[in-house]
Amino acid sequence: MKYFEKHPMLLLSVGILGLSMSAVLVRYSEAPSAVTAAFRMLWTVLLMSPMFLFSSQYRAELLSVSRKTFLLCIASGISLALHFILWFDSLTYTTVASATAIVCTEVIWVAIGFCLVLKGSLRPKAILAIAITLAGSLLIAWSDSGSGGSHLYGDILALTAAVAVAVYTLIGRAARTAISTTVYTYLVYAAAAVVLAGIALLQGYSLTGYGKNAVVIGFLLSLFSTILGHSICSWCLKYISPAFVSASKLCEPVIAAVFAFFLFQEVPGIAQIAGGAVIIAGVLFYSKVEHP
């Protein structure tokens, strides 16, 4: 681990690659979105559980969580569950390039929520960055609206998924002031797993009957996209500036689009590429404004 502390860029590269694999893995799933997402979260909770089984410190913290913080974690888990369902569903209707680029607008919705709900304020440059990012989303939507099929519907699902994960992030800001990130994520992932399993059952789906596909895809999503993706990026924040980590995550739509090109023969149009570039530029600009 000492080696990676001296060379955090290596781990950050692994984290970005793990995040970029999410859309591709979802495309290979033969199960409904809620089932795939449920297996992802169930595997994540299972893989994290040994830390609590063998660490008295984490167990003690888990048992001492206040009622308010616990309810915040549940609310955060519900938002994360909705994000996964909407995000996975969007990949059924639109291209990997469009969906991943639009989901990257999360940071913009966090900024708007911070301003409206938490009574924060935005700098003029931040407002400009939001306008640029939304313009990129509209460009993708305009492109997909003329391509036939249900691409525009998929874009709307991806945008709603971005809003849902922004709500998850905002709730997390409040909850993590009272508990550690490890305990917070464990409770949130557990809540999300239960919610996703419940939604799948309410939709009339079974959690079995998909062969090894749903189990394996869920495990790979948990391992690569959650643990080797989100968790590594969070770890890197200790050694690399938040602005650089945030900017690096913008490689995700590009890498995911490359995967989709070779695996699914998805060739994004000029307007899609332009819209994605505008979104990335807007989010990057916002990151620099917030973390100069």
Arithmetic mean of pLDDT, 207-224: 91
pLDDT single digits (tens) 27-67: 999 999 999 999 999 999 999 999 888 889 989 999 999 99
Q: Quote the DSSP letter at residue 250.
A: T
Lowest mean pLDDT among 17-21, 110-114, 141-145, 191-195: 141-145
**How far is residue 118's CA from residue 136's CA, in Å, rounded to a whole number?**
26
Q: What is the pLDDT of residue 244?
A: 67
Arithmetic mean of pLDDT, 145-152: 72
Residue 250 has pLDDT above 60, yes or no: yes
Arithmetic mean of pLDDT, 137-143: 81
Percent of the chain past pLDDT 70, that is, above it, reads: 91
Rounded to 5 degrees, what angle do the CA atoms 272, 86, 250 make? 45
**How far is residue 223's CA from residue 158's CA, in Å, rounded to a whole number?**
23
Residue 222 has pLDDT above 70, yes or no: yes
Q: What is the pLDDT of residue 291?
A: 63
The CA–CA distances, whole Å, from 166 to 154, 208, 279 equal: 18, 31, 16
Residue 1 has pLDDT above 60, yes or no: no
Residue 288 has pLDDT above 80, yes or no: no
Residue 284 contacts residue 129 (beta carbons within 8 Å): no
pLDDT single digits (tens) 112-135: 887 877 677 777 888 888 888 888
Q: What is the pLDDT of residue 124?
A: 83
Residue 94 contacts residue 151 (beta carbons within 8 Å): yes
User: pLDDT-derived band of residue 157, with 50, 70 and 90 as boundaries?
Assistant: very high
Q: What is the pLDDT of residue 176?
A: 78
Lowest mean pLDDT among 23-27, 31-35, 67-71, 141-145: 141-145
As a whole number, the mean pLDDT across the chain is: 86
pLDDT single digits (tens) 167-203: 988 888 788 788 888 899 899 999 999 999 999 999 9
Give the 3-state secondary structure of 77-143. HHHHHHHHHHHHHHHHHCCHHHHHHHHCCHHHHHHHHHHHCCCCCCCHHHHHHHHHHHHHHHHHHHH
Q: What is the pLDDT of residue 88?
A: 94
**How far is residue 116's CA from residue 75's CA, in Å, rounded to a whole number?**
19
